[in-house]
Amino acid sequence: MTQNHPAGYGISQLAKDSGISTRTLRHYDSIGLLAPAFTAANGYRFYGQPEVLRLQRILLLKDLGLPLDTIASVLDGKADELAALSAHAAWLDAERARLTAMAATIRTTIEHLQAGENMNPEQAFSGFAPNPYQAEARQRWGDAAIQDSNAKLQALGPDGQARLLAEHESIANDLYAALCAGLGPGDGAVQGIIARHHEWVCHSWTPTAEAYAGLGEMYVADARFTAAYDAPKNAAARPGTAALLAAAMASYVELTPERFAQ
């Protein structure tokens, strides 16, 4: 960054180097998120090193998807910055994996085109879907709950996360097998699988009875959630699994209220 004042950087220079507009910087000032180090007699804003570092943290947390009021709470010590940054690191890892998958899809497309072959829709759009859960989860349960969940998942480490993912797939496959066997949501075997699902959820989040049933509703209310169970990528289709899961979760809440005692 080019220093353009003995005591700091002008707003135009900071805007240029950070990639955001001067209007955004003025907005951050107006809401108390990022005040300049000082304002000159002519009204020009100037920023010092502490403000530059604060802006870096603001942009990191903003990329995570946190609203500005939550960012302010984090930066002012009213929320756990380590948890938020850990979640941000996890998000970046997931985004890297998504971009890698997308690049692989594009290379496959090139190969098919060169060979004069057609691609089916699943091949053509593999890797293009964003994480379908984060926005809905934040809206339903709030930023603090999602930050805590992400921090717990991060604490598991790569091996623990891999085991958790494998258990998720095992649960989905076992539910589909139960569905194919004609078992209903209240069947003992199905409820045993749901007990595993509840335990799986609790690795990152401890839901209330209402929240757990609501999670089940999300699996069937949104096609993206349904697809994660019924039409997983790079695996055999499991039609009807999401609907059985949602119904069985509702039954589990009714049959085992002690699991949700506060």
The count of domains in the chain is 3
Burial 108-141 (b: 16+ CB within 10 A, else e): eeeeeeeeeeeeeeeeeebbeeeebebeebbeeb
- Give the residue numbers spanning the domain of 138: 132-260
Residues 53 and 17 in one domain: yes
pLDDT at position 111: 72
Cα 238 to the center of its chain, rounded Å: 24
The continuous run of DSSP H or E covering 141 comes out as: helix 134-180
Domain end residue (candidates: 131, 155, 172): 131
What is the secondary structure of 184-210 as a DSSP string?
-TTSHHHHHHHHHHHHHHHTT----HH
Please report, for the domain that includes residue 166, its CATH number.
1.10.490.50
Domain end (from 111, 131, 151): 131
- Over the chain (262 residues), the average pLDDT of each successive run of 10 is 60 90 92 91 89 89 76 76 62 67 70 64 47 48 53 62 78 91 91 92 81 85 81 83 93 90 61
Identify the pLDDT of residue 125: 47
